[in-house]
């Protein structure tokens, strides 16, 4: 048992890359079996370091598979982003309609076409005021929002006498 423990300590110290403690070195010097074990473990480690590395020319295949995997992921992400953008567009249009109806009813002094003009101006200004980094990936969605705003304007204009 004592010998097993000493062997394990030798093995663990070698694996940790630590020098053997003085007490262990003394034990090795005094015990031929431990001395043989330490020598054998070191020799085995040296031999195992020459592990056969095999070259399999995998690079092209791996990169093709990685790219294909990345492309498969993209439509899924775009699908999610599309839903998000559609939701945001709907909310924006609803918000604009509420805002217009509220302001249309409140001040009597306002011109009747103010709301429609504001919506039209908003549709034109928003892409310019938003950072291009934000807008670039959502160009399709933005085109739809713009279309919705144009439609809203048409409806509002048509509703005025």
Which residue shows structure tokens 């699908």?
A: 79
For position 49 contacting another protein by CB under 8 A, the verdict is yes
Distances (CA, A) of 51 to 3, 27, 33, 59: 30, 32, 28, 21
Give the torsion sign (CA, 154, 98, 145, 78): negative
For residue 73, the minimal CB distance to another protein (Å) is: 7
Write out the binding residues for another protein, residues 72-91 only, by CB under 8 A: 73
Interacting residues with another protein between 20 and 39 (CB under 8 A): 39
Binding another protein (rule: CB under 8 A), the pick from 3, 12, 83, 112 is 12
User: What residues from 129 to 148 belong to the interface with another protein (CB under 8 A)?
Assistant: none
Count of beta carbons in the 10 Å neighbourhood of residue 140: 11
Distance CA 12, CA 10 (A): 6
Task: Report the residue from 2, 22, 53, 158 that binds another protein according to the rule CB under 8 A.
Answer: 53
Q: Is residue 124 a contact point for another protein (CB under 8 A)? A: no
Choice from 1, 30, 56, 105 touching another protein (CB under 8 A): 56
- Candidate ranges 45-53, 112-120, 140-148, 153-161; the one touching another protein (CB under 8 A): 45-53
CA–CA separation, 124 and 80 (whole Å): 26
37 in Cβ contact with 7 (< 8 Å): yes
Residues forming contacts to another protein in the complex (CB under 8 A) are 7-8, 11-12, 15-17, 39-56, 58-59, 61-63, 65-67, 69-70, 73
């Amino acid at each position: 048992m004592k010998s097993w423990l000493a062997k394990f300590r030798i093995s663990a110290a070698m694996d940790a890359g630590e020098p053997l403690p003085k007490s262990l070195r003394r034990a090795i010097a005094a015990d031929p079996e431990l001395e043989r074990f330490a020598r054998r473990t070191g020799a085995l480690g040296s031999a195992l370091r020459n592990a056969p590395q095999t070259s399999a020319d995998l690079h092209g295949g791996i990169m093709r598979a990685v790219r294909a995997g990345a492309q498969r992921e993209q439509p899924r992400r775009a699908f999610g982003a599309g839903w998000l953008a559609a939701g945001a567009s709907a909310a924006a249009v609803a918000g604009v309609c509420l805002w217009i109806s509220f302001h249309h009813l409140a001040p009597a002094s306002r011109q009747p076409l103010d709301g429609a003009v504001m919506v039209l101006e908003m549709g034109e200004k928003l892409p310019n005021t938003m950072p291009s980094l934000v807008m670039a990936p959502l160009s399709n969605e933005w085109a739809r929002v713009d279309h919705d705003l144009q439609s809203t304007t048409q409806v509002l204009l048509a509703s005025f006498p």
